[in-house]
Structure 1
């Protein structure tokens, strides 16, 4: 008995969603509790950002080889192998006793997880034209749902089972993904798969590694060892030039890559990079604000972080409905509206104080969800509308390479930003942490009245904790002020491009 086309279409959409959301769920789990993961493996912010860099490096190489792997092994076999690699990486990262073990696990996850986003999106492109709009909605909703469930599930897992559960928490969702891979159409290996020169991968890996290392080490080495940074930058440029030269001359499918040399596509990649960098930086800093600075418990913090993505799902559905009815505003107007939402979000967040409640934060985080969904959907429309079907797979591979590098860069830059601002504000606040400062004596006197059973030594410990909390809070507010300026800069670029049209 054959299944109806309607049920087959629904099963295919479900399969696309089950594949698409995995990477976003795992990253949401880990970014939510970066501090707890660092404490569990004895790592600092630098090692945690190195794990993000290792994931991105391996993901970039896997993405660049995505089409080659599909043509050589077949789409289904490639996807199933990627799921197994992702599971292996999760097991290794969760069992790690040191930063090196965690970094190794995340690197293996990058090799597997890179395939999910691209494979799911390419399956949407293979849907019948009448179903493609619905496929895009299911694909986008799955990504946002994975991002929303990451912190929501992470708060519960962390409190109940510890940080290792954040790595292993994705494992129950992998058997359904293997089942989903069998539902997708089987595309066998190509009779003549593409051929790439092996040396090009080496130079690509070197270029991406040096870029990530520069981003991470710039604040530490700029004044102490500027010659190292200059040498690394020069080596990165040379590596990229050698990669481009080898690929242009010797890749068998180089003609398809040439179709991507369009200004609109390159501007779209820039927009993607900005959005993913901001989203990953927010995901890193928001848990510090809610847990360390505002003192919310882990489940409440996870719920708050998921609100942005749940709001993004609503904004995305609204925008998709307007698109399907032909009533959506123009791309430029939508992008400007999303920049306004980002500016309002940053401005309101920068005005928080230590007494901010859940209700106020919830309302502000809705704005962040609106920015994410509207900006990314508009950028996606403008980026791929002029790409020829023959080049779509390569265009999406390249876009996802940019995504991985931007996410890793966002974590690294946010880590460096928080370290630098924390050190600055802690030192400034510590100037008043002395017996000569009237603020210090007043605070100590107040604690003596409120906590009479504690000794002065214990009261000093309470004040030291409050000092660290205040430094973290002010540093987070600095980040949100920076987001306001970034939003204004993006809006200015859009208006300048309009004037140049």
Structure 2
């Protein structure tokens, strides 16, 4: 006998796919296309990272509020309103010509689009509690893998064609399709008044301020960590104190925005910590891969995006292999170990690169290993962390919200850490290279003389300086991926020895 189905199962699954895919598509395109976008709006790297932080702060607040809004609007109106706000944000970004316009657009995008992933995951619970729900999980994970893989390809094509606004137009159109599908597959009844959570403006204000202070300290560490770390520590400490007050306040309320007391389980907390670390890796790697392939190795945006997209498609293959193995062999350790082994392989392959590296031969396999890591570790953690919440609908919903709030924090923190690493190591390597190749160095003088045969001497010196800077960026990138190897080995050890997620 067939399992009971949702009456609009195909439409519901298409909506899940679109919402989750849009979330990873737009985030991936923003990471890959950051440099050309900065050029279009006249923003410095420092200003652009502030935009990233403010996006994350608004995103965290929007995800925290989604349950409150669904209780009052109903699922259908909530999704359609979120998509409408998101589309307005994409339109502002696509037409922006200044930093202020772009910042406004990104904040509007966060307000409407940040809850897409959470919404997509919770929509799967609208399906009857039968084995067919696993089909929903497959669709959800496939959307993650495909959206993350298509992002660098589409961004590379858009930048190459000098149509960077496509980075925002495409997610807006896809989200609009999801809003249309929601008409047929989502309920529209608000929750009974007695079951609605109360609004907690002081807690929300403290949440926003605390997240901003912590993330701003991360961002400023990129520039001030080695010169004046004390104000950064004060800023981060104040942010942590505010976040702790939020936790205390929510724990004391009868109908809180987030029922944190239900989530105080070792399995969930361990999964939440691992999720946050994985999203930090996601943010850092998505920041560093374009730096390596485009800035350090000198490839075009189109070629770099195609290679990165092709490698990341391994996530889709890894998930379907995992889905085939899981029913017969559900123990998670093999997936965790394999995931971190793939990440270590990614780091080793990229750490060994030199200036003559071929993207398809040398970089593509490494990116494929990174893609496999994303799905093996994160999908396994999703199954394990929520195992104790399957019979607690509110706990499960709030657990998903908190997890995705931490994902926004993790991605922003990962970008900040990667930028800090790049700035530090790039400065060290550039100083060493300049000291090595000075005016009195025979190799330097020989190179200048050779280049001066076809161009003015000043131009030749400038070209050499550019080559030194490119070499310094390459060495700094290799340092980052060397650290990634060490991190991966630690991950293998920890996940092999841990006894919580099992």
TM normalised by structure 1 equals 0.93
Q: Is the 8 A contact 1:197 1:250 kept in 2?
A: no
Maintained 8 Å contact 1:248/1:254: no
Is 1:359 the counterpart of 2:361? The answer is yes
Contact 1:290 1:296 in 2 (8 A): yes
Contact 1:196 1:247 in 2 (8 A): no
How far is 1:303 from its partner? 0.8
Shift of 1:334: 1.5
SS in 2 for 1:487: helix
Task: Report which stretch shifted further, 311-320 or 13-22.
Answer: 13-22
Q: Which moved more, 1:7-16 or 1:407-416?
A: 7-16
Alignment counterpart, residue 321 of structure 1, candidates 317, 321, 324: 324
1:46 matched to 2:49? The reply is no
What whole-Å deviation, never above 9, does each CA across 1:70-93 have from its counterpart, x for those lacking one? 001111111111111111111222
Residues 438/308 of structure 1: CA separation in 2 closer, same or farther (3 Å cut): same
Change (3 A) 1:354 1:226: closer
Q: 1:118 aligns to what? A: 118
Task: Provide closer, same or farther for how the CA distance between residues 302 and 500 of structure 1 changes in structure 2, counting only shifts above 3 A.
Answer: closer
1:258-407 matched pairs, under 5 angstroms = 258-324=261-327, 326-328=328-330, 330-357=331-358, 358-387=360-389, 388-390=391-393, 391-407=395-411
Question: Structure 1: where are the runs of 5+ without partners?
Answer: none
CA contact (8 A) 1:45 1:415 kept: no
Q: Structure 1 residues 264, 5: CA separation in 2 closer, same or farther (over 3 Å shift)? A: closer
Q: Write the distance in 2 (CA, Å) between the matches of 1:375 and 1:256.
A: 26
Greater mean deviation of Cα atoms: 156-165 or 194-203: 156-165
Task: Describe the SS at the equivalent of 2:388.
Answer: coil
Does structure 1 conserve the Cα–Cα contact (< 8 Å) formed by 2:199 and 2:257?
no
User: What pairs with 1:83-482 in structure 2 (closer than 5 Å)?
Assistant: 83-128=83-128, 129-192=130-193, 193-222=196-225, 224-253=227-256, 256-324=259-327, 326-328=328-330, 330-357=331-358, 358-387=360-389, 388-390=391-393, 391-447=395-451, 452-482=453-483
State the SS of the aligned residue for 1:431: helix
**Contact persistence 1:203–1:239 (CA under 8 A):** yes
| TM-score, length basis structure 2 | 0.93
1:401-433 alpha-carbon deviations (Å, 9 max, x no partner): 110100111112212221222222111111133
Residue 23 of structure 2 corresponds to residue 23 of structure 1: yes
Distance in 2, matches of 1:215 and 1:246, equals 26
- Is the 8 Å Cα contact of residues 311 and 366 (structure 1) preserved in structure 2? yes
d(CA) in 2 for partners of 1:499 and 1:36? 44
Secondary structure in structure 2 of the residue aligned to 1:21: helix
CA positional deviation for 1:156: 1.0
**Inter-partner Cα distance in structure 2 for 1:184 and 1:353:** 52
* Cα distance change, pair 255–318 in 1 and its aligned pair in 2 (3 A): closer
Q: Deviations over 1:46-73 (max 9, x none)?
A: 2221111111111111111111110011
Moved over 6 A (4+): 4-7
Q: 1:464 to 1:198 in 2, by over 3 A?
A: same
Query: Please, which moves more after superposition, 199-208 or 220-229?
Result: 220-229
**Unmatched runs of 5 consecutive residues or more in structure 2:** none
* Shift, 1:205, TM fit: 0.8
